[in-house]
Structure 1
Amino acid sequence: MRLDLEGRTALVTGSSQGIGAAIAAGLARAGAQVGVNGRDADRLADTVETLRAEVPDGMFVPVAADLGTEEGAAHVVDALPEVDILVNNLGIFGARPALEISDDEWRRYFEINVLAGIRLTRAYLPRMTGRGWGRVLYIASESAVVIPAEMIHYGMTKTALLAVSRGFAKEAAGTGVTVNSVLAGPTHTEGVEDFVYDLVGRELPWDEAERVFMSEHRPQSLLRRLITPEEIANLVVYLSSPLASATTGGAVRVDGGCIDAIIP
């Protein structure tokens, strides 16, 4: 299969590291110009330098902005007014006992994990439908379906993304624009390493810490290991391509079998 994105412009939110950076690299390899986003301009510059070394022919545009705010979203739209592929990857996570999650923390998780993507979709979707082609993707999680007891506020936001993506897919019906969510499973990133160590203890070597985390905290995984960011990116690049033209309104899984259902 040839995943040809030549001439397309993509924006990947929260792409200064981890899954977002891997998605940016994958889209660039397919030929897209990619807007790379993060809050810290210096860190973002380092990421773009790394991406250019990884994908020498890639075209990367750094766009520093805090997308948890209306002002940040407006800045990104001004910097990249025409986007063909919007990947709403920005998200935060962390363990917290359910009864200790404050109102402010509930709001913060919703603002960053859900509303940031809604704002950008609201800005870019009409432009995509006007051109008759576009892709909007929300990076959700198996936690949308298998709510983790240690972070129900995170799970709530990922469940919300499934509803948001399905609703916007209906808004884009018949226009040539597809809208989908990606149910990503537990993935090996720097942030997840810290999360795993917080749960299982920092005295263990990484391989053992990963094994304990998967067996005790994600025992439903059929993969029985953390997914790599590149494995998530592979599905995102496919869904962004012309080959996925008949896939819309879906919640597509790259979850390592964590969701114990035939259909999510």
Structure 2
Amino acid sequence: MQIHLKNRRAIVTGSTAGIGLAIASGLAATGAHVVVTGRTQARVDEALAAIAKDVSGASLSGVAGDLGTQEGAEHLIKQVPEADILINNLGIFEPKAFFDIPDEDWLRFFEVNVMSGVRLSRHYAQGMAKRGWGRIQFISSESGVQIPAEMVQYGMTKTAQLAVSRGLAETLAGTGVTVNAVLPGPTRSEGVGDFFGKIAADKGISQQDVERDFIATHRPSTVIKRLATVEEVANMCVYLASEQASATTGAAMRVDGGVVRSIV
């Protein structure tokens, strides 16, 4: 299968590192014009340079701003009024015991992980529907199905994304716009790597040992018995953004290494 998205404009939120950067790079390789977003111009510029280095002839632009706020969303929409592909990847996580999570954290996680995608989808989906073609994705998580006790606030937002994704797919029925959720499992992203690296330094052990302990203790149902790579997750996202994925909508596509014990 060869995926070609030339003349399509794709926005990938939170795309200066990790899964978002891998998705942006993968879409650029298909010929799409990719809009990279991040909180600071310096991070956006670094990501643009990294993609340009890896993808010869990549068509790129960048917008800096905090998409976890209404003001940030409005700024992006002003800079990029229309898009054919929207990947709602922006997200934050933080392990914290349930009884230690204050109201402010619940609201902050919902604003960043859920409302960022709601605001952008509300705008861009209307233009997609009028043009009769579009692709919207929400990067959820297996944590939205199996809520982790150590991150209930995170799991809550990932479940909410599943509801929004399916509801929006129903709203856009028959328009030529597909809406799907992607559920990565434990993935070796920059954020996860930094988190595991800190644990390794504190315990005086290797990061590989921390990863193995995490898999054995917190995700023992995994079938691949390792963390996924960001590229493995991005491959699914690039396919769902393609012309070939036109019959896949309203779905929750797992790239979780088999963590979720389900046959559907």
Quote the sequence identity (%): 52
SS in 1 for 2:226: coil
Relative distance call for 1:52 and 1:196 in structure 2 (3 A) is same
Work out whether residues 214 and 224 of structure 1, in 8 Å CA contact, stay in contact via their aligned partners in 2. Answer: yes
Correspondence for 2:158: 158
SS in 2 for 1:220: coil
Correspondence for 2:242: 241
TM-score under structure 1 normalisation? 0.97
- Following superposition, the deviation at residue 199 of structure 1 comes to 5.7
Relative distance call for 1:29 and 1:236 in structure 2 (3 A) is same
For the residues of structure 1 that align with 2:135 and 2:143, how far apart are their CA atoms? 23
Work out whether residues 109 and 153 of structure 2, in 8 Å CA contact, stay in contact via their aligned partners in 1. Answer: yes
SS in 1 for 2:140: strand
Correspondence for 2:36: 36
SS in 2 for 1:135: strand
Correspondence for 1:168: 168
Work out whether residues 199 and 210 of structure 2, in 8 Å CA contact, stay in contact via their aligned partners in 1. Answer: no
Work out whether residues 196 and 213 of structure 1, in 8 Å CA contact, stay in contact via their aligned partners in 2. Answer: no
For the residues of structure 1 that align with 2:204 and 2:139, how far apart are their CA atoms? 32
Structure 1 residue 222 corresponds to structure 2 residue 228: no
Relative distance call for 1:202 and 1:52 in structure 2 (3 A) is farther
Could you tell which deviates more after superposition, 204-213 or 97-106? 204-213
Work out whether residues 15 and 38 of structure 2, in 8 Å CA contact, stay in contact via their aligned partners in 1. Answer: yes
TM-score under structure 2 normalisation? 0.97
- Following superposition, the deviation at residue 202 of structure 1 comes to 4.0
Work out whether residues 15 and 37 of structure 2, in 8 Å CA contact, stay in contact via their aligned partners in 1. Answer: yes
Structure 1 residue 101 corresponds to structure 2 residue 72: no
Any unmatched runs of 5+ in structure 2? none
Correspondence for 1:117: 117
After superposition, where does 1:1-264 map in structure 2 within 5 Å? Answer: 1-197=1-197, 201-263=202-264
Work out whether residues 196 and 207 of structure 2, in 8 Å CA contact, stay in contact via their aligned partners in 1. Answer: no
- Following superposition, the deviation at residue 206 of structure 1 comes to 1.9
- Following superposition, the deviation at residue 198 of structure 1 comes to 5.4
Computed over aligned residues only, the root mean square deviation of the Cα atoms, in angstroms, reads: 1.1
Deviations 1:61-115 (CA, angstroms, capped at 9, x unpaired): 1110110111110111111111000000000001000111000000000000000
- Following superposition, the deviation at residue 195 of structure 1 comes to 2.7
For the residues of structure 1 that align with 2:190 and 2:17, how far apart are their CA atoms? 8
Deviations 1:209-256 (CA, angstroms, capped at 9, x unpaired): 211111112111111111000000000000000100000000011110
For the residues of structure 2 that align with 1:155 and 1:36, how far apart are their CA atoms? 26
- Following superposition, the deviation at residue 196 of structure 1 comes to 2.9
- Following superposition, the deviation at residue 191 of structure 1 comes to 1.1
Work out whether residues 224 and 258 of structure 2, in 8 Å CA contact, stay in contact via their aligned partners in 1. Answer: yes
What residue identity is the alignment partner of 1:230? Answer: E
Relative distance call for 1:214 and 1:229 in structure 2 (3 A) is same
Work out whether residues 128 and 134 of structure 2, in 8 Å CA contact, stay in contact via their aligned partners in 1. Answer: yes
Relative distance call for 1:230 and 1:154 in structure 2 (3 A) is same
For the residues of structure 1 that align with 2:122 and 2:39, how far apart are their CA atoms? 21
Q: How many residues align?
A: 263
- Following superposition, the deviation at residue 190 of structure 1 comes to 2.1
- Following superposition, the deviation at residue 197 of structure 1 comes to 4.5
Work out whether residues 138 and 181 of structure 2, in 8 Å CA contact, stay in contact via their aligned partners in 1. Answer: yes
What residue identity is the alignment partner of 1:213? Answer: F
For the residues of structure 1 that align with 2:13 and 2:127, how far apart are their CA atoms? 18
Any unmatched runs of 5+ in structure 1? none
